[in-house]
């Protein structure tokens, strides 16, 4: 599904789930959201244990029907050489018929509120960096950033959505007490910048692509167009990804794999050179386009 402007048709009721009868519904919900993944669902006993011991399991309801959930637990991680407590947000899912209605955003906002009450200021999670809809939610709407690329994080995945493709993932950092995140989640968030704004500000397109006679962008033969001297790299970069990777990997698995390897090289190199993902752009139209915005250093984290 391509990302769309999120118009909230359903205002979900968000509830904390910590009782066995409630959590049974989440087992079934996982199977509906990720078909073919029966062996990989998080079982009731683990969901319950985590929910009753410092973790968080949230359900989104349309009336009495559960339509989505978010699940996470306490963890420890290194950040710039220091060990720090965090909330590891492991799963977020919404039934297909309820997507593009802002339910995921409502769940994450509730998670933000609850984790802040626990006195924790850092949430992390992973997602496929080639999924535009996820990038738009995680980066553009929630204000998370990314400087970590994980190759083959889950090994060979067995669900029908991910089978046959390397399970590379972004790990995002959500600094939930930062001015940046508070601004994104306020009742009046800043207007979303588009491609023209960034180009006017001097953003440099890292990977030039071409369009086939159809919807698919094709990576160029050269991996990137950056100068040889890293000391004169631009402060803002644009990296294009497929606008609809879900459809692409269904219809052109060869091109999907090409995009995985192409962007793997780019992101690993840029993260190693002190860039972070700080924004995401989706351009609608007959042939939609999607771009990550990367900033040099951490100068944008406060806003």
pTM to 2 decimal places: 0.90
Mean pLDDT across 114-139: 97
| CA distance readout (Å), 255 to 33, 146, 154, 174, 248 | 25, 25, 21, 31, 7
Percent of the chain with pLDDT over 70: 89
Binning pLDDT at 50, 70 and 90, where does residue 164 land? low
Q: Is 239 in the same domain as 159?
A: no
Q: Is 55 in the same domain as 33?
A: yes
286 burial (CB, 10 Å; 0-12 / 13-18 / 19+) is: exposed
Instruction: Identify the domain boundary among 137, 161, 184.
Output: 184
pLDDT given for residue 303 in this prediction:
41
Q: Is 220 in the same domain as 246?
A: yes
Q: Output the domain CATH number for residue 168.
A: 3.40.630.30
pLDDT given for residue 26 in this prediction:
96
Binning pLDDT at 50, 70 and 90, where does residue 9 land? low
Instruction: Identify the domain boundary among 184, 215, 237.
Output: 184
Q: Is 172 in the same domain as 199?
A: no
pLDDT given for residue 261 in this prediction:
95
Query: Does residue 217 sit within a domain?
Result: yes
Q: Where are the strands (E) in the chain, listed by range?
A: 13-16, 56-62, 65-79, 82-94, 122-127, 145-150, 169-175, 204-205, 209-211, 217-219, 236-241, 275-283, 289-296
- pLDDT at residue 194 is higher than 80: yes
Give the number of domains in the chain: 2
- pLDDT at residue 99 is higher than 60: yes
Q: Is 36 in the same domain as 173?
A: yes
- pLDDT at residue 233 is higher than 80: yes
- pLDDT at residue 83 is higher than 60: yes
Mean pLDDT across 98-115: 95
Q: Is 66 in the same domain as 213?
A: no
Decide: 101 and 7 in contact? Cβ < 8 Å: yes
pLDDT given for residue 96 in this prediction:
93
Query: Does residue 279 sit within a domain?
Result: yes
Average pLDDT along the chain: 89
Q: Is 228 in the same domain as 159?
A: no
Q: Determine how β-strand 204-205 pairs with β-strand 236-241.
A: parallel
- For 129, the domain range is 13-184
- pLDDT at residue 269 is higher than 90: yes
Cβ neighbours of residue 272 closer than 8 Å, sequence gap 6 or more: none
Query: Does residue 2 sit within a domain?
Result: no
Query: Does residue 190 sit within a domain?
Result: no
State both tokens at 202: 């001097």
- pLDDT at residue 231 is higher than 80: no
Cβ neighbours of residue 19 closer than 8 Å, sequence gap 6 or more: none
- pLDDT at residue 30 is higher than 50: yes
Binning pLDDT at 50, 70 and 90, where does residue 39 land? low
- pLDDT at residue 1 is higher than 50: no
Instruction: Identify the domain boundary among 139, 165, 184.
Output: 184
Mean pLDDT across 93-110: 95
Residue with the larger pLDDT of the pair 256 and 231: 256
Q: Is 175 in the same domain as 253?
A: no
Query: Does residue 177 sit within a domain?
Result: yes
Q: Identify the weakest region by mean pLDDT among 86-95, 279-288, 293-302.
A: 293-302
Mean pLDDT across 179-198: 91
Mean pLDDT across 103-131: 97
Query: Does residue 166 sit within a domain?
Result: yes
For the CA atoms of 151, 109, 194, 93, the dihedral, rounded to the nearest 10 degrees, stands at: 50
Mean pLDDT across 10-30: 92
Q: Is 94 in the same domain as 180?
A: yes
Backbone phi and psi for residue 74, each to the nearest 5 degrees, phi listed first: -70, 145
Q: Is 123 in the same domain as 205?
A: no
Q: Is 112 in the same domain as 222?
A: no
Q: Is 92 in the same domain as 125?
A: yes
- Residue whose structure tokens are 């802002």: 102
The secondary structure of 287-300, three-state, reads CCEEEEEEEECCCC
pLDDT given for residue 242 in this prediction:
95
Query: Does residue 132 sit within a domain?
Result: yes
Decide: 293 and 238 in contact? Cβ < 8 Å: yes
First-to-last alpha carbon distance for the chain, in angstroms, is 30
Query: Does residue 269 sit within a domain?
Result: yes
For the CA atoms of 213, 217, 223, 226, the dihedral, rounded to the nearest 10 degrees, stands at: 110
């Amino acid at each position: 599904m391509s990302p769309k402007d999120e118009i909230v048709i359903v205002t979900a009721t968000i509830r904390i789930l910590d009782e066995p009868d409630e959590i049974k519904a989440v087992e079934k919900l996982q199977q509906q959201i990720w078909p073919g993944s029966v062996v990989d669902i998080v079982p009731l006993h683990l969901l319950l244990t985590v929910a009753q011991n410092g973790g968080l399991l949230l359900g989104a309801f349309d009336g009495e029907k559960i339509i989505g959930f978010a699940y996470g637990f306490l963890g420890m991680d290194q950040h710039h050489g220091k060990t720090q407590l965090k909330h590891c947000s492991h799963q977020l899912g919404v039934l297909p018929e309820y997507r593009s209605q802002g339910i995921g955003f409502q769940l994450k906002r509730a998670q933000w509120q609850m984790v802040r009450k626990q006195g924790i200021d850092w949430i992390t999670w992973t997602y496929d960096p080639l999924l535009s809809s996820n990038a738009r939610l995680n980066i553009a709407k929630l204000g998370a950033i990314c400087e970590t690329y994980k190759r083959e994080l889950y090994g060979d995945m067995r669900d029908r959505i991910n089978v046959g493709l390397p399970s590379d993932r972004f790990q995002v950092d959500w600094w939930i007490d930062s001015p940046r995140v508070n601004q994104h989640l306020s009742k009046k968030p800043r207007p979303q910048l588009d491609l023209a704004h960034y180009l006017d500000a001097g953003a440099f397109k890292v990977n030039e692509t071409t369009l086939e006679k159809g919807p698919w962008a094709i990576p160029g033969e050269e991996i990137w167009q950056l100068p040889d001297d890293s000391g004169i790299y631009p402060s803002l970069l644009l990296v294009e990804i497929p606008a609809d990777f879900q459809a692409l990997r269904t219809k052109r698995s060869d091109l999907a794999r090409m995009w995985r390897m192409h962007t793997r090289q780019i992101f690993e190199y840029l993260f190693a050179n002190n860039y972070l993902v700080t924004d995401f752009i989706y351009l609608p139209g007959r042939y939609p386009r999607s771009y990550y915005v990367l900033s040099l250093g951490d100068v944008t984290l406060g806003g």
